[in-house]
Structure 1
Amino acid sequence: MGFHTYDAERADALEDPGRYEYVSVDELLALFDPEGEVADLGSGTGFYTDDVAPYAETIHAVDVQDEMHDFYREEGTPDNVRFVTAGVEDLPFADGALDRAFSTMTYHEFASAAALTELARVVRPGGLVGIADWSAEGEGESGPPRSERFGVADAVSAFEDAGFTVERARERRETFVLRAVLE
């Protein structure tokens, strides 16, 4: 699998409401029941961060690109958003600091044993993680090339190997969703 980072020069394309076709706000919220300290992994322009912010005490917009944070700041951010420039494999949070974490269409950019081990370190026991991403089983009509995607079975195995229990995982037409709890 190739890991890429979304081109920050195309950041405005991430503001397309057509993204809700692949994961709606209600579906996303149901994946991880946001509350307390939440991290949006691969937050980009904050498209979904804004939707989750009203339900969290603090939401950490985590992205590897400062340019994405700059774009988000220019658009305006909710008061409870904190910007974190980091990769998922090296998160600057204390052990068990997060109540929840989620990723929308970016799991394929960070999926590795190191990243999931780090995620297991920073999510508290009983904490939830919600993932919605492009599926390797999808048609490839949108999103990254199929060669850069993961199937839901691969994601389930990776989360279980990192110490999570997967409560729900489902393949869909172009994407998959996964809900995992840290035991």
Structure 2
Amino acid sequence: MGFHTFDPERADRLEDATRFRFCSREELLGPLPRGPDATVLDVGSGTGFYTDEIAPFVGRVLALDVQREMHGKYHTKGIPANVSPVTANAESLPLADGTVGGAFSTMTFHESTTPDALAELKRVLTASAPFVVVDWSGDGSGESGPPVEERFDAERARDLLTDAGFTVETDEERSETFRVVARA
């Protein structure tokens, strides 16, 4: 899809704790590596709402966002010491091959997922590293999140990941979101 990004002028909405009803810290953290040696990538970090939830459990989080304004808002909020903002396009990650032990994407898979972006993500992940995706579902009502026509559903996300060489472990459709866990 790749044609919808969140408006930085509305970034305060990203700090709303009611977002946990769509995606919990535990469902992101479960498959991810933990501990002081673990490096994970937050694909589409925005203002760091979910980045901050994962940071206490890993050695380093790379907070990837294509919009410099989002990182500016994250700096204003306060970035944990073990979080490194990375401003880049998902199709051209400034990271070395096989250096990331896991990745997650919350409500941004629809914004940047292309075959090239998934190939690039797979390149930077270590072998068998998990990638956890929770995003707005194309099967949802559209009352929250982007317009329904800009979304994927769990089946399409699974197919995109499989086509990119990931092994999908789980995919589930929920009322407004889907969750997919895949491995590089």
- TM-score tier after normalising by the smaller chain length: over 0.9
1:135 equivalenced with 2:137 (yes/no) = yes
**1:43·1:62 contact (CA, 8 Å) conserved in 2?**
yes
2:119 to 117, 120, 141: 117
Counterpart for residue 46 of structure 1: 48
1:79 equivalenced with 2:81 (yes/no) = yes
Counterpart for residue 26 of structure 1: 26
**Matched-pair identity in %:** 51
Counterpart for residue 5 of structure 2: 5
**One-letter code aligned to 2:80:** P
Q: Shift in Å at residue 171 of structure 1?
A: 0.3
1:174 equivalenced with 2:176 (yes/no) = yes
**One-letter code aligned to 1:71:** K
Distance 1:140-1:31 versus aligned 2 partners, 3 A rule: farther
Gap runs ≥5 in structure 2: none
Counterpart for residue 105 of structure 2: 103
Q: Shift in Å at residue 34 of structure 1?
A: 4.4
Q: 2: distance between equivalents of 1:42 and 1:99? A: 17
Counterpart of 2:62 in 1: which secondary structure?
strand
Q: 1: distance between equivalents of 2:2 and 2:133? A: 19
Q: Root-mean-square deviation (CA), in Å?
A: 1.1
**One-letter code aligned to 2:158:** V
**One-letter code aligned to 2:29:** L
Counterpart of 2:142 in 1: which secondary structure?
coil
**1:2·1:147 contact (CA, 8 Å) conserved in 2?**
no
Counterpart of 2:69 in 1: which secondary structure?
helix
Q: 1: distance between equivalents of 2:127 and 2:33? A: 15
Gap runs ≥5 in structure 1: none
Q: 1: distance between equivalents of 2:2 and 2:159? A: 19
Counterpart of 1:89 in 2: which secondary structure?
coil
Counterpart of 2:101 in 1: which secondary structure?
strand
**One-letter code aligned to 2:155:** A
**One-letter code aligned to 1:15:** E
Q: Residue deviations 1:10-37, cap 9 Å, x none?
A: 1111101110010011122124344511
What is the TM-score of this pair, normalised by structure 2? Answer: 0.96
What is the TM-score of this pair, normalised by structure 1? Answer: 0.96
2:64 to 56, 62, 66: 62
Runs of at least 4 residues of structure 1 off by over 4 A?
A: none
Q: Shift in Å at residue 174 of structure 1?
A: 0.3
Q: 2: distance between equivalents of 1:136 and 1:147? A: 7
**1:32·1:179 contact (CA, 8 Å) conserved in 2?**
no
Q: 2: distance between equivalents of 1:59 and 1:85? A: 13
